[in-house]
Amino acid sequence: MYRQSSSGCGISLFTPGVIPEELREQFGNACELVCVQVPKVYDSCLLRLCLVGDCKQEDPDQGIIFDPDLRFRIDCSADDIINARVAGLVPGSFRVLSKRPVPGDPDRKLISYTYQLRILYDVVFDDGTVSTDNELILRRSETVGPLYCPEAVAIIRESKVDQSGAIKPAKDADDEIIKLEIVAKVLDARVVREDCDSCDAYNPYENVCCAEFTIGIFNVIKCELEVQLVIPAFGFCPPPAPCERRPDRKPCEEFNEELPPAFFPPQLDDFITGPGINF
């Protein structure tokens, strides 16, 4: 189905089925060898981004990048920005733009992709009122690689039939070879009152107020392919234990069974451990 590996770990020497008795101990007393179809990660990489809304802080050598989405005009009655958090990816925003092969090595590719992050924040105004769950969309496009992303020799298609008997549209499994995993958080959010230049020669927002955000992002890009692997099996999974229903108890009954809380915060030496630290 896929190009064979040039390493010694290509096609399995063992045929799925019952394990010969003389090899049983070698496979950890498994009862048989089975062939399973799973997504295999062929290559991956980690991209760290620190994005700032102030162009004066940009330092590409240190991985600090200015992004204009993180700087925008705000009402000068805003006193502070609080509770800023990343609410996740915008559904459907992740798309692979291109997979460009490296000259001389078509299986290694430069991956270009785009995605959008949804950021929520609250604004505290100088009169004490709070505007909650304001939304900011951060749009990013990145290029990483080269990553080892071989193409499937066969075109894999699948159709699924739901419980009503309707046939769902076929899906090309190879379309999902690129997977994105993101961990992101808001590192800082503030209201800047002095001025709000656009980081260009022309300043359209002179002497107004701006909101500035700093976002830290970890991107993991994975190249996956559906493959068939021979693995040892210990049989089918046992049926799960029966679920326990939560008893209908009164609040005071649960409270009376709780342990009392710690009335004082933990001491500093509860957190600091390791060699070279003496008190």
CA distance 115 to 217: 12
Q: What is the structure's pLDDT at 279?
A: 47
Map residue 217 onto helix, strand or coil. Answer: strand
Half-sphere exposure of 221 (CA within 13 A, CB side): 24
Phi/psi for 22 (5° steps) reads -70, -15
- Helix (H) / strand (E) containing 120: strand 105-125
195 DSSP 8-state letter: -
CA distance 94 to 179: 9
State the pTM of this model: 0.74
Q: What is the structure's pLDDT at 9?
A: 67
Map residue 56 onto helix, strand or coil. Answer: helix
Residue 105, class by beta-carbon neighbours within 10 Å (0-12 exposed, 13-18 middle, 19+ buried)? exposed
Q: What is the structure's pLDDT at 7?
A: 45
CA distance 29 to 21: 9
| Domain assignments of the chain as residue spans, ordered by start | 46-158+169-226
Q: What is the structure's pLDDT at 1?
A: 33
64-66 and 32-52 beta bridge pairing: parallel
CB atoms within 10 A of CB 96: 16
Q: What is the structure's pLDDT at 4?
A: 42
279 residues of the chain, pLDDT tens digit each: 333 444 456 777 777 877 877 777 788 778 888 899 888 999 999 999 999 999 889 998 888 999 999 999 998 888 899 999 999 999 999 999 999 999 999 999 999 999 999 999 999 998 889 999 999 999 999 999 899 998 877 766 667 777 676 666 655 555 568 999 999 999 999 998 866 655 654 455 555 789 999 999 999 999 998 888 888 888 888 898 988 887 787 888 888 888 888 888 888 776 666 555 554
CA distance 97 to 111: 8
